[in-house]
Amino acid sequence: MNSIWTLARRADRLNPSIIREILKVTEQPGVLSLAGGLPSAETFPIEAMREACAQVLTDTPKEALQYAASEGYGPLREWVAATLNAQGQQVNAAQVLITTGSQQGLDLVAKVLVDAGAPVAVETPTYLGALQAFAPFEPIFASVASDHEGPLPGAIEALRHDAPGCRFLYVLPNFQNPSGRVMPEARRQAVVAAAQAARVPLVEDNPYGDLWFDAPPARPLAARWAEGTVYLGSFSKVLAPGLRLGYVVAPPALHPKLLQAKQAADLHTPGFNQRVVHQVIKDGFLDQHIPTIRARYRAQRDAMAAALTEHLPAGSEWSAPQGGMFFWVRLPAGCHAMAMLDSAVKAGVAYVPGEAFYAHAPDRRTIRLSFVTLGPEEIRQAVALLGGVIRRHLNEELQEDTP
């Protein structure tokens, strides 16, 4: 850029989101998209929102529209603390910081904890949005080897030597984006023990924990190591993402710096939104609402599981997620998910190539499929189209290999 402007070095680490670029391509009419991580709009509580907006603008319009405290709206912080405590944590409302979506929590955590050149550990694969939030602060990412239950305890212990001074390990234990995996009880215990042994604190992200289908996930890591864990939550998946409401719960040693970073970043999250959401949820709305989301997503999970079994060729690997929003599929040998995306979109179906979710050494055979955006019948059609694309690709490869 030959211009009057000089960019900061960190700007090199800012790049267009691959998902965003893919969504541009796939948002063409006629494409069935399994790519986006968009919650089903059918679950949005529109009527409750309408009533809550009117109520807030009747009861406390001036307070809702005025500047407000950077920490967030007191009663909402109390609600968050009480809800987390009912799930096994021991949180004081004073530790809760309301954020503009939990994405902002990731940005603030990195701003406060990450120096250029400092190691930050992530799962393999890991949430792309976290990589994007952390990257501008120029960490050196350490990819922790992981299996279908989450990061391997031995690999966490090895961080002591492999990534000395590691600022934190970022983990998404419940129905991870992108892998869909959930960390079982024994793995949670082992992960916390390993992190403590390696003296690597944890950043625990939990946007999907309420979206379980059969049984709730085990207690959060934060409940086991409160002083060593920052915990992030979100209202995006249980109410609506367009409100941009999340929260960060931090140990008392860390909360003030996150709060100061929050204030510098946007003064405070919209007070109107905080009050409206509190109005919606304060009398138990979510106890009725979340089960309806679970039922819907479970049916869509089942539809996708059946369709994958029916339409994907031999050599494809996946396991049905027990909650959340995503299937993680490994295509047969010879497939390159990114290279195949173009023909998939031409055939009328879109996915996210899994390589976007690795800090290092991506597995290029992987893809992420959302089962929450489309209904069951569209899911079946989309997966059938996807199966055709893969089969054609494998056939062409076979022909090329045959002289």
Query: Which residues, numbered 16-45, are part of the site for a second copy (CB under 8 A)?
Result: 16-17, 20, 36-39, 41, 44
Q: Which stretch binds a second copy (CB under 8 A): 74-82, 143-151, 246-254, 341-349?
A: 246-254
CA distance 252 to 255: 5
Rounded Cα distance, 320 and 303, in Å = 11
- Nearer residue to a second copy within complex by CB, 244 or 278: 244
User: Which of 243, 312, 359, 383 lies at the binding interface for a second copy (CB under 8 A)?
Assistant: 243
Task: Determine, following the binding rule CB under 8 A, whether residue 264 of this chain makes contact with a second copy.
Answer: yes
Q: Which of 13, 17, 14, 15 is nearest to 353 (CA)?
A: 17
Establish if 67 lies at the interface with a second copy (CB under 8 A).
yes
Closest to a second copy by CB, 50 vs 392, is: 50
Site for a second copy in 265-324 (CB under 8 A): 265-273
Site for a second copy in 339-368 (CB under 8 A): none
Q: Which residues face 151 on adjacent strands?
A: 146
Told to check if 103 binds a second copy by CB under 8 A, we report yes
Q: Does 228 bind a second copy (CB under 8 A)?
A: yes
Segments in 312-365 forming alpha helices (H): 337-347
To a second copy, the closest distance from the beta carbon of 348 in angstroms equals 22
Residue 263 is a binding residue for a second copy (CB under 8 A): yes
Which is nearest to 134 in space by CA: 115, 161, 153?
115
**Sign of the Cα pseudo-torsion (257, 258, 259, 264, in order):** positive
Helix (H, G, I), strand (E, B) or coil at 20: helix
Q: Is 50 in the site for a second copy (CB under 8 A)?
A: yes
Nearest by Cα to 204 from 165, 166, 247:
247
Q: Pick from 35, 76, 80, 135 the residue near a second copy by CB under 8 A.
A: 135
Least gap, CB of 112 to a second copy (angstroms): 5
Do 312 and 329 touch, CB atoms closer than 8 A?
A: yes
